[in-house]
Structure 1
């Protein structure tokens, strides 16, 4: 499709960008190295017919009415509020930390004000926490930090809390009431027919062509394109010129339980200390699927493998700035998404970034069209 916009990647960033550009009247070709659309949000039945997320749990949540309405064009929703428990010292306690967490861990019976006083006593104040360890110590103190987060973070990121950007720990609230929801966004739901079906509908457009199992070569595949939208790792686009940016990957292990409706009390149980895996997810809590048997999926973080998470440290931020200079000097290519922007985005944030990017590209292409050029020349001659 010479002359079309090329979108590299069929995850949220790529699919949303492609649909917006197609709706604006542009021919779009979407390629992805995987044999399916939906990127890391891809879901489908396992060998036992249980619907699972093949690259880890994806729970959609947003406070943006605009983003929720945009996605609602392509799916019905199943209302779902995610809940997480952590296995600590033989007890299951809510995460994020709330009143129940404190009372259960320490055999207390505090009310909300008592929890606030307890946290004030144990915290280690820091006026401007420079890292995740300092931030956690300044909000929940040493013991809760060590029991709930230090081991989990070491497994998840491969480094200690003190090396992680403070924004990582800042994503996790601390509550003094009994609210045990993981998210508090206005919209919390799962696509009723699954993520794969959602993406298939987003990409179902006469101006969109999708090719799967296709590797992207920036020195070859961008030629003759009106524009390129790139959603892969930014360092890979430039041939790792300054070295590889650090990413964390995941390995998954499934365990099926025939004859069980559900095994866990909630969808996800974190294991911050005892095991090599970080969490175990039971997807039937999320999907509401009615079928015989249930499947658990354990997550093992890894240094090698497909990139999932940018590693938010001062060193990686400095290396990314060097790649960002190359991005800024690369005309005709837009970099969007978690890997391309090297940002720890939530799904709704990726959608928002893709909508902004597509709008900018559409405006640029409209201004570069032959008709626009003739109008500009006419206006100049007058």
Structure 2
């Protein structure tokens, strides 16, 4: 068949583009090399009937009413505010760092104003925050940096804080009050029936065909289409002409505990200084599911494997810009998404980028 658009990838970027284009009357083909839709946000029940996220926890949050209302057309929501604790020196502390964290760690009883003064007394001022180390030291000082950030960053990114762009650490605030929510966005919800069910509704259109377990490089010569929307790695599209863009990958160790109804006190616990894994997530916190057992996942960062996180460094951004300039010369392809735009996007940011891309295409 002839299609108006061929979309490579059935994750957030691809599904949003497909839905919007189909709604405008375009014929769309979506291909994905995996055997399921949803990309890394795909969820499913494990063999014990617990809804899990095979590619690690995905918690939806956004300040954009437009994005929230758009996705609400394909799912009901469950209110959920994510909370994270960090295991440090044999105890658990709220992260992001707040007044509770500081009082418990140092045996203090600081008020909110006292906490502001404490942080001011320990911080190391920087004229310019160039690296993530600059951001953390200028916010919480060396001791809290070493306890909560340096080890975690080394595991997660394979780099020291001083080797990462400032934007990575800037994602994590420091609070002088007792707010222990990981996010403070206006809209914090989980899809009531899971992400996969939401994606199924997005792609449920007579104008959309979906082919799974299908490699774009293998089938592209046999598909006629007017335009390609590419959501995969931009360097792969161009055959790594300028070299490979660096990514961090992950290995997920899933485990079901049949005789434990609740494994940990919060959805995620970080391990900045202990163990090879960075964190453990227990899915029932996220989904609200009732089950006599529970399922958890441990995350082990890797240098090789599926590309999950673009590594934010100046030299990597410079390499991406070479690919971006090359992409601008290709008029029949639109590049959108975390891998195609080499950006450390949250889910809502991917949705926003896809909606913007479709507005241009339509």
Q: Give the alignment's TM-score, normalised by structure 1.
A: 0.93
- Between the aligned partners of 2:129 and 2:222, the Cα distance in structure 1 is 43
Question: 8 Å contact 2:99–2:115 — kept in the other structure?
Answer: yes
When the two chains are superposed, the root-mean-square deviation of aligned CA atoms in Å is 1.2
Structure 1: tracts of 5 or more residues without a match = 363-382
How far residue 104 of structure 1 moved from its aligned partner, in angstroms, is: 1.0
- Structure 2 counterpart of 1:121: 121
Q: Give the alignment's TM-score, normalised by structure 2.
A: 0.98
How is 1:186-335 mapped onto 2 (pairs within 5 angstroms)? 186-217=186-217, 220-221=220-221, 224-335=224-335
- Between the aligned partners of 2:72 and 2:135, the Cα distance in structure 1 is 37
- Structure 1 counterpart of 2:346: 346
- Between the aligned partners of 2:60 and 2:222, the Cα distance in structure 1 is 32
- Between the aligned partners of 2:344 and 2:265, the Cα distance in structure 1 is 29
Report the 3-state secondary structure (helix = DSSP H, G, I; strand = E; otherwise coil) of the residue aligned with 1:297: strand
How far residue 222 of structure 1 moved from its aligned partner, in angstroms, is: 8.5
Report the 3-state secondary structure (helix = DSSP H, G, I; strand = E; otherwise coil) of the residue aligned with 1:244: coil
Report the 3-state secondary structure (helix = DSSP H, G, I; strand = E; otherwise coil) of the residue aligned with 2:325: helix
Structure 2: tracts of 5 or more residues without a match = none
- Between the aligned partners of 1:73 and 1:318, the Cα distance in structure 2 is 39
**1:129-170 deviations in whole A, cap 9, x for unaligned?**
110001110111001111101010111011111110100000
Q: Rg: which structure is higher? A: 1
Report the 3-state secondary structure (helix = DSSP H, G, I; strand = E; otherwise coil) of the residue aligned with 1:252: strand
Aligned length: 362
Question: 8 Å contact 2:56–2:299 — kept in the other structure?
Answer: yes
- Between the aligned partners of 2:234 and 2:319, the Cα distance in structure 1 is 11
Report the 3-state secondary structure (helix = DSSP H, G, I; strand = E; otherwise coil) of the residue aligned with 2:2: coil
- Between the aligned partners of 1:332 and 1:231, the Cα distance in structure 2 is 14
CA 1:315–1:218 in 2, change beyond 3 Å: closer, same or farther? farther
- Structure 1 counterpart of 2:143: 143
- Structure 1 counterpart of 2:5: 5
How far residue 345 of structure 1 moved from its aligned partner, in angstroms, is: 0.5
- Between the aligned partners of 2:256 and 2:106, the Cα distance in structure 1 is 34
Question: 8 Å contact 2:3–2:28 — kept in the other structure?
Answer: no
- Between the aligned partners of 2:113 and 2:95, the Cα distance in structure 1 is 19
Question: 8 Å contact 2:3–2:29 — kept in the other structure?
Answer: no
- Between the aligned partners of 1:158 and 1:349, the Cα distance in structure 2 is 25
- Between the aligned partners of 2:331 and 2:120, the Cα distance in structure 1 is 52
CA 1:7–1:284 in 2, change beyond 3 Å: closer, same or farther? same
How far residue 106 of structure 1 moved from its aligned partner, in angstroms, is: 0.8
- Structure 1 counterpart of 2:177: 177
How far residue 127 of structure 1 moved from its aligned partner, in angstroms, is: 1.7
Question: 8 Å contact 1:95–1:101 — kept in the other structure?
Answer: yes
- Structure 2 counterpart of 1:101: 101
- Between the aligned partners of 1:221 and 1:164, the Cα distance in structure 2 is 40
Question: 8 Å contact 1:256–1:295 — kept in the other structure?
Answer: yes
CA 1:74–1:162 in 2, change beyond 3 Å: closer, same or farther? same
Report the 3-state secondary structure (helix = DSSP H, G, I; strand = E; otherwise coil) of the residue aligned with 2:224: coil
- Between the aligned partners of 2:11 and 2:224, the Cα distance in structure 1 is 24
How far residue 358 of structure 1 moved from its aligned partner, in angstroms, is: 0.8
How is 1:156-171 mapped onto 2 (pairs within 5 angstroms)? 156-171=156-171
How far residue 128 of structure 1 moved from its aligned partner, in angstroms, is: 1.2
How is 1:337-376 mapped onto 2 (pairs within 5 angstroms)? 337-362=337-362
- Between the aligned partners of 1:59 and 1:198, the Cα distance in structure 2 is 14
Report the 3-state secondary structure (helix = DSSP H, G, I; strand = E; otherwise coil) of the residue aligned with 2:360: helix
How far residue 217 of structure 1 moved from its aligned partner, in angstroms, is: 1.5
